[in-house]
Amino acid sequence: MKTSSQMNFTNEDRIEISHPLLYALMTYGDGSATKVPISNWNSWGLGSRGILTWLVMEALNVRRHPWHPDACQASAPIEEEAAGALKILKEHLDTPHKVEIALGEIRRIYDHTQSVFKRRGIRTVQLHRSLYDGDKGGGEEGYATTILDMSRAAKRLNHEHFDLPSNVLTSWCEGAGYASYPVTIRVEHPVENVLWSSDVIASKGEKPTSSAVESGEWIVLNRSLNGLLSVPADGVIVHRNSNLWRPSYDLEERIDSCKGLTSEERAEKYLAKQRGKLAPLKGYSIPHYRQGLLNLRWRDRLKIALQVMRTR
């Protein structure tokens, strides 16, 4: 396992994307002859990510079980982005021949990325992904909240890993992630799941050596049929003080279906519930520390008060 600095990437490792539409969707679009009416991969949008996910799945034979969708496939873009996405499909991908040309370019990019790793004898790379929660509020769990709860449940059961629903394509970085994001996961990926990174894509702008995509970004492919990604239980990094955090499976002790269960049994029930969901996890806002914290028993409130007093 090595970092990109240890891999000693050079300008010769960069491939120039020859397909105008793919270059416009995958990169910042510097020097692009094709201007698209939707955001690109680097500025999050369901239009570009939905189209790229579809093309990658077709090109690399990635399949999903029914009802285990990618969030970018399950949620449609709206308003101007929806109109822009449909415009792209009608103008650039409206025949099987045009689609096949795009698929061939995806395969060429993937093969190039793999050849770069192969020349260096690299088999795995440790990457980080920082996450926000859902913006629904109201005590409903979002992505970051769920990940934190799942890691706590796995540790409670002495499990080394837990399974997390994940999109087909996700962005990762080598560093510790975004400090402003509350939760970061750290996973060691086999390089055959890396589709591209900032070190292997050439810019068509005035400075060919500049990054065509966000510097330090890696795009990782999830090939699992059920959409689950195995995450180390100790690979969840919390960027905020979580001493007051009480996992949702402990907050459920007053629910009838959980009464009489031990904390370990509630943890196992919680993990099983997450594994059995037939929907992607979505959300991109700050995690909400549930109102359940305000409904603790007096004994638990006293413990928290003593903890706060001791830290002063």
| The predicted structure's pLDDT at residue 166 | 87
> pLDDT: is 175 or 282 the higher one?
175
What is the domain range of residue 58? 4-310
Residues 185, 235 contacting (CB under 8 angstroms): yes
The yes-or-no verdict on residue 24 having pLDDT over 90 is yes
CA–CA gap between residue 85 and residue 70 (Å, rounded): 17
199: its two tokens: 């070190």
Is the pTM here over 0.85, yes or no? no
Find the helix or strand (DSSP H, E) in which 165 lies: strand 161-165
- The answer for residues whose C-beta is within 8 angstroms of residue 125's C-beta and 6 or more apart is 1, 2, 3, 174, 188, 189, 191, 194, 218
Number of domains composing the chain: 1
pLDDT at 6 over 70: no
Q: How confident is the prediction for the chain on average, in pLDDT?
A: 81
Give me 242's structure tokens.
């979580």
Residue 286 pLDDT:
35
Residue 232, judged by CB atoms within 10 A of its CB (0-12, 13-18, 19+), counts as: middle
- Over 60: is that where the pLDDT of 3 sits? no
- Band of residue 284 on the pLDDT scale cut at 50, 70, 90: very low
- Highest mean pLDDT among 30-44, 76-90, 235-249, 287-301 belongs to 76-90
> Which residues, in sequence order, are CB contacts of 132 under 8 Å at separation 6+?
142, 143, 144, 181, 182, 283, 284, 285, 286, 287
Residue 254 has pLDDT above 60, yes or no: no
pLDDT higher than threshold 50 for residue 23: yes
Residue 223's Cβ-count burial label (10 Å; 0-12, 13-18, 19+) is middle
What pLDDT shows up at residue 291?
Answer: 36
Give how far Cα 275 sits from Cα of 242, 270, 283, Å. Answer: 24, 9, 18
Counting residues of the chain whose pLDDT is more than 90, the rounded percentage is 45
Helices 46-59, 96-120: crossing angle, 10 deg rounding: 80
Rg value, the chain, Cα:
22
pLDDT in tens, 59-71: 999 999 888 878 8
Number of helices and strands in the chain (H, E): 10, 8
Token pair, residue 233, equals: 């239980």
pLDDT surpassing 90 at residue 124:
yes
**Lowest-confidence segment of 86-100, 134-148, 266-280 by average pLDDT:** 134-148
- Take residue 35 and report the two structure tokens written for it: 């201007």
For residue 108, give the nearest of 26, 4, 230 by alpha carbon. Answer: 26
Asked if 146 and 134 touch (Cβ cutoff 8 Å), the reply is no
As a whole number of angstroms, the distance between CA 163 and CA 6 comes to 30
Res. 103: pLDDT tops 80: yes
Please state, for a pLDDT cut of 70, what percent of the chain lies above it: 74
Closest residue by Cα to residue 76 from 43, 40, 106, 51 = 51
- pLDDT category at 137 given cuts 50, 70, 90 is very low
* Distance separating alpha carbons of residues 30 and 127, to the nearest angstrom: 26
Q: Tell me the pairing of strands 236-238 and 228-232.
A: unpaired
- Decide if pLDDT at 170 tops 60: yes
